[in-house]
Chains A and B, each alone.
Chain A
Amino acid sequence: MMASSYNAKEEDGHHSGPSSHGGAGAVKSKKPDNTAFKQQRLPAWQPILTAGTVLPAFFVIGLIFIPIGIGLYVTSNNIKEFEIDYTGVDVSSPCFSCAKNYSWDSTTSCTCSVNFTLEQPFESNVFMYYGLSNFYQNHRRYVKSRDDSQLNGDRSALTNPSKECEPYRTSEGQPIAPCGAIANSLFNDTLVLYHVDSNGTKISIPLAKKGIAWWTDKHVKFRNPGGNDNLTIAFQGTNKPVNWRKPVFELDPDDRDNNGFINEDFIVWMRTAALPTFRKLYRIIHKKSSSTPTLASGRYILDITYNYPVLSFDGRKRMILSTISWMGGKNPFLGIAYITVGSICFFLGVVLLIIHHKYDSRNSSADIPN
């Protein structure tokens, strides 16, 4: 405004000349428009927050939240969840030796078996997760260490990955595919589940490995480098991540739709977790028939091919079996929170009612509805 003062003043002086002689034209032009907006008289709704108006809202919130909370809490409690730590920290634990004698270079993989018992049958589909603790997948250096263009099948990015992938960008002079710290640290334990039936025989439980990744990730965001049906050729000129035992095109040699970048285990891993303790979907155990539970109660054996070292950073590995409701896995928090907030609202409603009657009872008749 200040800047334009020069012009304004020139104009000013110019105007004041004629207006002093009583020019009617000048009068007209300066008269402000009498519109509702310019006169700040737009029609408006003028609500005021008073005890009277807020009261019903508090009660309504209370009345809605408490049942929702109870519903959520009950749902959460009905979910069956089983969790077992197989890190092998204790000497007594079966994976102790695997955990202890771990080395990246070993060609033979160490296996161990964990026995456990399910007290209750798991009725609906069961989701099998692996969980890691103290693993900072949300560390900044880690989160950004990927190349989405490469993962999307971009050929130039395949051979020339983003700088963000450093120091997992090249190995032995060749670009790494998939590059970056996330891919490099792909979880590579193999978990196999057996049911031990009453006569002691191990029955392998079929674990579905499809449907564990987001559909959009698998079909849009992740793509193998195109142009060639043969993935081995498509990935030619690239090297495997240093920690991997096999190259990316051998992640699932049996299923072409689950191999390379579109391997679902890989995609699941690539979605970095929000917190240092996290779980990731590993397999799904589909319900076979309506009569028998998916996982009957009884003894089970978890066979682990122990490839993934976590003890070096004081981490833990878990296997989780969980059923799922409409609201996801077991999480009493939401239900409790709803009940708490609902009760607080209800309680505050009562307090406000008292305040309202005591202090502004004058207006009560006008303000309280119904």
Chain B
Amino acid sequence: MGLDLSTLRTLISRYCAGEENWVDSRTIYIGHKEPPPGTEAFIQQRFPDNRIVSSKYTFWNFIPKNMFEQFRRVANFYFLIIFLVQLIIDTPTSPVTSGLPLFFVITVTAIKQGYEDWLRHKADNAVNQCPVHVLQHGKVICKQSRKLRVGDIVFVKEDESFPCDLILLSSSRDDGTCHVTTASLDGESSHKTYYAVQDTKAYNAETEVDSIHATIECEQPQPDLYKFVGRINIYMNNEPVARPLGSENLLLRGATLKNTEYIYAVAIYTGMETKMALNYQSKSQKRSAVEKSMNAYLVVYLCILISKAFVNTVLKYAWQADPIRDEPWYDQRTEAARQRNIVIRAFTDFLAFMVLFNYIIPVSMYVTVEMQKFLGSYFMMWDDEMFDQELGERAVVNTSDLNEELGQVEYVFTDKTGTLTENNMEFIECCVDGHVYVAQAICNGQVLPGADSMDMIDTSPGPEARQREELFFRALCLCHTVQVKEEETVDGIKQGIHRGKSTSFYISSSPDEVALVEGMKRLGFTYLRLKDSHMEILNREEEIERFELLEVLTFDSVRRRMSVIVRASTGELYLFCKGADSSIFPRVISGKVDQVRARVEHNAVEGLRTLCVAYRPLSPAQYQEVCLLLSRAKLALQDRDKRLAEAYDIIEKDLILLGATAVEDRLQEKAADTIESLHKAGMKVWVLTGDKMETAAATCYASKLFHRNTQILELTTKRTEEQSLHDVLFDLSRTVLRQHGGMSRDVSGLSGDYMDYGLIIDGATLSTVMKPGQEDSNSGNYKEIFLEICRNCSAVLCCRMAPLQKAQIVKLIKTSKEHPITLAIGDGANDVSMILEAHVGIGIMGKEGRQAVRNSDYAIPKFKHLKKILLVHGHYYYIRISELVQYFFYKNVCFIFPQFLYQFFCGFSQQPLYDTAYLTLYNISFTSLPILVYSLIEQHINMDILKKDPSLYRDIAKNSLLRWPIFIYWTLLGVYDAIVMFFGAYFLFDNTTFTSNGQMFGNWTFGTLVFTALVFIVTFKLALDTHYWTWINHFVIWGSLIFFVVFSLLWGGIIWPFLNYQRMYYVFMQMLSSGPAWLSIVLLIIASLLPDVLKKVIWRSLWPTTTERIQMKRRCLASQPSTIFMLSQTSSRISF
């Protein structure tokens, strides 16, 4: 194609010419119409089609790609290497022994991933083939979604979702707006309004739209859903008109059109370049502390493995230095083997030893751990207690990798709004120039200002005050981004809103705004709707007032305020601004600041959320200036946000204070109880909030984070203004350390009588503390001092935090020298950064959208569920997985160490002790299920006790069950068992007969004897550790032993036709026919288990842990005359 060639040429020339500035932005020809000649020569770029590919594989590349992905994991790669070594060199065990398990694992994973990918293919196909309407040559035609191209004009009808990212050109509404719900993107079900480009909004018929001649320049796709910068050049009469484009013009793929009959829009990002697709890229993976311990153990075992192989190789060559030993006449090498170079031979021997001992790091451990995590996480989802009736939601597990980390949490970072509190805002009062209006005291639109107790209330407001009051109400009715959810006609809304909520209601992304607008309604001013850029208000006299909405200076968390510029019907221009007190007061030039400030502070202490309202009358000239500023900022392609912020800063000044509002955010159910439990469990709870200090502190008191006797240390801007940060920090640390001077630090937290400290810090101070000091060497220490103070405080409140600061704090604690495990919990988009940063991120299914839930590792409906998820589930998961990990290493030491010892008796010839089938199946079937079941349903203590007694959580803190001493204990236990088994069998076999017919047993019987003892010992060891014997445990433990016996009988019972060896033929039966074999197996089992039982019993008696004490107490309470005799469990199946 000539066109393609020319495109290619231009591409090449472009890159050669080095026009790199084009790389940052793209140019789109609406309707694929070339711009009129003479304008800038744009270069046609190539864009992908609208095919969504979420699948990873195609039919052809599945096998190689999947294999590659799987073998990229270190463990799989290790096993592959072992398998290849077995294939290549002459090794003691057949390649089947490691190939079969590996093959099994790889196949199961491949099937699982293949299935998932198939589902994705199906979903992709459904999406890619769904029909979309595209305008071509003035006609709407139907196209498959995947054939959509950048520049196509798309026609979308109501309730359809957008096929790609679009720029709204026009809609069925005259004002060029459309309503969209982004529920499937960020979960916010509210309707958002998007705006068409002003110059094209009139073109809302097929032919009209087709006649639009314009190009769009915009940035290349970015994953940020809420950011978009672009420019549209419209060629009217060949004169390009440039207009800014922002995120309010961009309709995202996945969102759905609502309440709008149809729209025309042009595709700008398609396929995998849509913002939705860019957002589906996976997050970085978190690893749990247990996994880290496990990997450390693996390294240890790898070292053991290598040293074992090395020692054996060296010994082998030392031993066979004597040629008689090397090649006795009865056991000659082949000529080829004899010719081989000694170095190669030694290396091959080393590899062969590696292969022989490789089972010490079993494939099945990874599979079992994965399965345990995956299956175990279902218990969390199934938990009835974590189901919230009201929301109809239950806990969600986004990653099962961190289950056990829930049992290790030391620091909890929680958001306040929506997490500790309900985020169910209720308008409480407003204060206009010191006159307090309480919403409850209003009936039928009549204002009864104030309750009696409020001394500031002036009961007879003068006419001027009344005017101010009405201005205040109007300001609140106008300064917001609330939408009216329309159900019926305009009249319907009018009636609906006025008479009751049944037909229509307000929707906003911020619940505060809804609360305020609803509060205003109760005070007599009803916001009706936004129509043709006019906001309509129903005032107390049932008159509709119309204000033209000129500009909205949207809210952002840095400015912490928003403004609107409106023109009243009288023609006066106003700027209404509402925001946090700290961001309003500095900009106020008049008004009753002191009274309002007093009221605001009073309310904040009460735990109410306060907002200040101010206004600024604008003269037409000022407005012109404002317009200019804004449009200039909006038109900018680069740094638009920064320039907008600067413009806002200039505009929102010289305000006149009107008053303040107070909205209550109630505490979540059982929030205080949960926090108290977390405290008792030894966790430090930090509240990170964007709210102001007083409000946040009040919430902290209410939620029992601070007690009455907590001494509050403040590290706020207020204090640092008086003293230097340096002095304040040292002061505080002195206070804290003086307290701890007398007593050793680890006692802290256990006894209740010592002084409790609570720290309050605000965002500004925090950033100075965190700032890396360049010239000042001291400032580096600030962090340390700050951490030192924090360590000694039981509760910390960080207020006035920006989202990123939240993450910073989490990171600061995470990387402090103790490396504590952190948990972040939050519900809103502003918590996402901290949720991602913390070891465990928990999302609350709150009202502020789904972003937190989406990015979290676990999501729970309510804050109170944190208690169960940590104290019960986390505790269980930790206990279970730690036993799983330790036991797996233990059982493989038991398994392999006898084989190592055997080398000393077989001339270091790599002769395996066990038969191939036993080597293969030991980890796969003889000993796998009991531990899996244990790790799924073990409960060392009942759930209710765990919940009732949070201090039990301290028993497992700091990864206590996977510390090195315990690991070494398990390993030594394994070595001991191995020695007992091997030498037990050795002395039994030593140059004697143990059958009653005088016949002799061979080496396979020797191995089988050891193996039989091994399987029983290892299984009984687990049985001894099991505290919770359900029928499943019984079934699996006894079942796997029976399976072992049945398998052995079968394996030795017949001559297997396709095997080239029959060494196990009747070996097991012959062994069972011998009395001493039975006796020695029993002896070996008892002797092996003895030390462990003894250790357990003595430790429990002499140094019991809290857990063990509780277990005993329970037993004592529930004790019945019945005896529990561990070694005869089969007969006794008592269930409490």
Contact = CB atoms under 8 A, between A and B. Distances in A.
Contacts of B1124: 45, 47-48, 53
A141 B189 contact: no
Contact of A56 (B189, B997, B1093, B1125): B1125
B892 to A, nearest CB: 22
A275 B989 contact: yes
A147 to B, nearest CB: 7
Contact of B993 (A46, A181, A324): A324
Nearest to B1005: A274
Contact of A216 (B399, B1002, B1065): B1065
Contacts of B1003: 137-138, 143, 272-275
Given A56-B1125, A326-B996, A331-B992, A217 B1066 contact: yes
A140 B282 contact: no
Nearest to B112: A3
B893 to A, nearest CB: 22
Contacts of B1007: 274
A34 B522 CA distance: 44
A369 interface: yes
A272 B1069 CA distance: 17
Interface string B1105-1136: 00000011001100100011111010011111
B1061 interface: yes
Interface residues of A, number: 126
A331 B1100 contact: no
Contact of A6 (B120, B185, B383): B120
Nearest to A6: B54
A9 B1111 contact: no
Contacts of A118: none
B929 interface: no
Interface in A243-291: 243, 268, 271-281, 284
Given A32-B381, A32-B384, A274 B1006 contact: yes
Nearest to B1033: A44
B1076 interface: yes
Contacts of A337: 984, 987, 1080, 1083, 1087
Contact of A72 (B1032, B1079, B1129): B1079
B184 interface: yes
B366 interface: no
B1055 interface: yes
B937 A181 contact: no
B511 to A, nearest CB: 14
Given A275-B989, A275-B990, A329-B992, A50 B1097 contact: yes
B888 to A, nearest CB: 21
A312 B329 contact: yes
Given A20-B189, A328-B1076, A139 B331 contact: yes
Contacts of A142: 330-331, 909
B907 A136 contact: yes
Nearest to B126: A10
Interface in A45-95: 45-51, 53-54, 56-57, 61, 65, 68, 72
A187 B970 CA distance: 46
Interface residues of B, number: 131
B1074 interface: yes
Contact of A39 (B384, B850, B1032): B384
Interface stretch (B135-143, B648-656, B680-688, B1021-1029): B1021-1029
B1126 A53 contact: yes
B59 interface: no
A312 B993 contact: no
A366 B994 contact: no
A184 B330 contact: yes
Nearest to A19: B392
A359 B1102 contact: yes
Interface string B314-339: 00000000001100111111110000
B280 A54 contact: no
Contact of B905 (A16, A138, A164, A359): A138
A40 B876 CA distance: 11
Most chain B CB within a 10 A radius of its CB, from A31, A53, A331? A331
B1090 A345 contact: yes
Contacts of A366: 1115-1116, 1119
A32 B382 contact: yes
Contacts of A356: 1101
A53 B988 contact: no
A312 B324 contact: yes
A220 to B, nearest CB: 6
Given A44-B1135, A57-B1127, A31 B120 contact: no
B1098 interface: yes
A136 B1032 CA distance: 47
A136 B1101 contact: no
Contacts of B986: 275
B387 interface: yes
A31 B400 CA distance: 20
Interface string A193-235: 0000000000000000001111011001100000000000000
B348 interface: no
Contacts of B909: 136, 138-142
A39 B384 CA distance: 7
A330 B1125 contact: no
B489 interface: no
Given A48-B1112, A54-B1093, A274-B1006, A369 B1030 contact: no
B1076 A32 contact: no
Interface in B1009-1048: 1024, 1027-1033
A314 interface: yes
B400 A1 contact: yes
A110 interface: no
Contact of A212 (B324, B330, B381, B999): B999
A42 B1127 contact: no
A175 interface: no
Contacts of B332: 167-168, 181
Contact of A42 (B113, B183, B905, B937): B937
Contacts of B758: none
Given A12-B184, A362-B1116, A279 B994 contact: no
A32 B526 CA distance: 43
Contact of B1115 (A20, A48, A211): A48
Nearest to A359: B1101
Contact of B189 (A17, A72, A143, A360): A17
A20 B850 CA distance: 12
A137 B1000 CA distance: 14
A341 to B, nearest CB: 5
A238 to B, nearest CB: 18
B1102 A149 contact: no
B183 A13 contact: yes
A268 B392 contact: no
Contacts of A16: 183-184, 187, 189, 850
B379 A38 contact: yes
A363 interface: yes
Contact of A140 (B398, B910, B1079): B910
A317 B748 CA distance: 74
A49 B1065 CA distance: 41
A233 B1002 CA distance: 32
Nearest to A56: B1125
30 contacts: A1-B398, A2-B282, A3-B116, A3-B117, A16-B187, A27-B392, A38-B379, A42-B1032, A47-B1124, A53-B1123, A127-B998, A129-B993, A136-B328, A138-B1003, A139-B906, A145-B331, A148-B1062, A162-B1060, A167-B333, A216-B1069, A221-B1062, A281-B999, A281-B1000, A325-B996, A328-B1075, A329-B993, A331-B988, A344-B1090, A352-B1097, A355-B1102
By Cβ-Cβ distance, the 9 closest A-B pairs, closest first, are A13-B184, A27-B392, A185-B330, A328-B994, A274-B1006, A329-B993, A127-B998, A38-B382, A366-B1119
Given A3-B113, A38-B383, A140-B911, 7 more contacts: A26-B392, A38-B379, A138-B911, A275-B990, A281-B999, A352-B1098, A366-B1115
